[in-house]
Amino acid sequence: MDLRHTIAQKISTALSQLDTTLTTDQVADMLEVPKTLDLGDFAFPAFQLAKSLHRSPVQIAQQLAPLVDADGLSKVEAKGPYVNVFLNQPVFAETTFKAILSDPEAYGSADVGQGGNVPIDMSSPNIAKPMSMGHLRSTVIGNALANIYSKLGYHPIKINHLGDWGTQFGKLIVGYKMWGSEEAVKENPIKNLLAYYVRFHKEDKDHPEMDDEAREWFRKLEDGDPEATKLWSWFREISLKEFQKVYDQLGVTFDSYNGEAFYNDKMDEVIDILESKGLLEKSQGADIVDLSPEGLNPALIRKSDGASLYMTRDLAAAIYRKRTYHFVKSLYVVGAEQKEHFDQLKAVLQRMGFAWADEIVHVPFGLITENGKKLSTRSGRIILLEKVLQDAVALAQKQVDEKNPTLANKKEVAHQVGVGAVVFHDLKNDRMDNFDFNLEEVVRFEGETGPYVQYTNARAQSILRKAGKTGADLVDAPALDDAGAWEVVRDLGNFPEMVTRAAKEYEPSVIAKYALRLAKAFNKYYAHTKVLTGDASQDSRLALVASVSAVLQSALALLGVGAPAEM
Ligand code: ARG
């Protein structure tokens, strides 16, 4: 149980003596964290109970405070309409440090997931097109969620649902045959494949026969025609190789690359079920599922020429994932602009009689902007994305050179700092917020950045190095009795709650913001406290330093950001 729930349980028990029942979870949701430490570490507001108890909130607070079990607390105090709870600081510091230092990796983890499978549909760029900033966001958010769910005992399955199927491949084949060459594609795959596609769309306006031809090629592809298949798999392979460069830089791996094409032979069943349940309707020659009762636009299942669609493949994929993984939850980290698609997907699955559609969660996110404007998918964006990461690394390299010219593994550190900066910047914003991308800003060592958190950890590590101690040496350090350290200690104690909350809200920013808060609190402490005094109290302060470092490392690891020991 995390700290918030431990306190909530005490209050819930006290409330039952006042003849009210609120569950521990309900109380936990109501508990506030006072702005200043003189108001305690948690505050329970009594407003909501006034009506049912026929008393004023102030009276309720006064009655409730003495009923709260004070074990582990230093004080429980009624103040106005609040019950303020003060933790026993030395006791809390000691147990927290012990918990962290005796098993740093286990701290914050829990087995709520009990090994349940959680497929995470993430990244999922489109073949023969540049990987967009949106795909980058999906990749890093999905990766962080996988880490967070794994820490809570779930078994995440990272699926790259590649956009490798659809009528556009018919167009691509026609374009390639008209204007392309093997050499050109080999030289710059994404740029040239995209160029054929773009040119196709320009020229088909005057040459409608091109569209017929493209449809024909896609039909061939769906039927397994050798030439079409060969071209398609070549396009797929070389595109994937380009995407892989970005994944390698980010250090993100996948458990499956089953993209849309994988479901080509699994869609007949979907159509059969829809048909047998009488859900399919004709509309202008196409097959649709009418979702007006749900207040949604109709779901397009099959085009008039018989070609299948994005939705049909997603239906097949959802069913396949349920059968293969028996998931307890199935996440889709996809931009907010596809909200309706996922609403439709769930609605159709419900209609098909799959109650597990409830476990499908669309995890949407906002846009990355440039000077407040939406980034357009211009040609060559893939190069830009790779380049963004390269530029970030170069910028980090410059900073490391200045700060620590004699550092041994400078290249590796610059990579961790540069790439980590971009990833952290993405994850520190609430995922639905649109945010601007400015490289200089992102890679700064001060302010709310990834490098700031990394630097704080490296500083803590350097203190430990100077003292010649590791976290393991400090597990039995004497209790810390230093009021100035309290903010740091309390933040450390909050880490498990943050992990749970990040998972519940599908929000890695909870962890990123927490890491910034902890780093800030520690730097403040360190600015006015001498840690290395050489006397008997030194070890208890070192235990705090080691705990901060361990938790910062855990937080960064959850976000998929490296934590260099020196920088
Ligand atoms: N390839 C799609 C796109 O770039 C994203 C796919 C998301 N996943 C899914 N199962 N529909 O827009």
How far is ligand 1, taken at its centre, from the CA of residue 163, in Å?
6
Q: Give residue 562's Cα distance to chain centre.
A: 16
* pLDDT mean for each 10 residues of the chain (567 residues): 93 93 95 94 95 94 96 95 96 95 97 97 94 92 98 98 93 96 93 92 92 94 94 96 94 97 94 96 94 96 82 97 98 96 98 98 89 58 72 93 92 96 95 86 88 97 97 93 92 97 98 98 96 93 98 98 96
pLDDT given for residue 376 in this prediction: 57
CB atoms within 10 A of CB 443: 25
Domains 3-87 and 385-559 share a fold: no
Cα of 128 to ligand 1 centre, how many Å?
Answer: 14
Instruction: Say if pTM beats, i.e. exceeds, 0.90.
Output: yes
Residue of the CA atom closest to atom 1 of ligand 1:
163
pLDDT of 509 reads 98
| Residues in Cβ contact with 486 at an 8 Å cutoff, skipping those fewer than 6 apart | 37, 89
Strand order in the sheet with 435-436: 373-374, 368-370, 435-436
Q: How much distance in Å is there from the Cα of 340 to the middle of ligand 1?
A: 13
Domain boundaries, the chain: 3-87, 166-248, 385-559
Question: What is the whole-number distance in angstroms between the Cα of residue 298 and the centre of ligand 1?
Answer: 19
| The pLDDT of residue 151 | 98
ipTM for the predicted complex comes to 0.99
Topology of domain 385-559 in CATH is Isoleucyl-tRNA Synthetase; Domain 1 (1.10.730)
Instruction: Identify the pLDDT of residue 132.
Output: 84
pLDDT of residue 445: 83
User: What one-character DSSP code corresponds to residue 404?
Assistant: -
Q: Which residues line ligand 1 (CB under 6 A)?
A: 121, 124-126, 161, 163, 314, 317, 332, 334
Q: CA-to-CA distance for 116 and 550, rounded, in angstroms?
A: 27
pLDDT of the residue at 383 = 47
Place of tokens 């159709």: 348
User: What is the best residue among 338, 367, 385 to mutate for testing ligand 1's pocket, by most ligand atoms within 8 Å of CB?
Assistant: 338
3-87 homologous superfamily:
Arginyl tRNA synthetase N-terminal domain (3.30.1360.70)
User: Strands (DSSP E) along 4-152, which ranges?
Assistant: 42-45, 73-79, 82-87, 117-121
Q: Which residue type is seen at 435? A: F
pLDDT of residue 378: 47
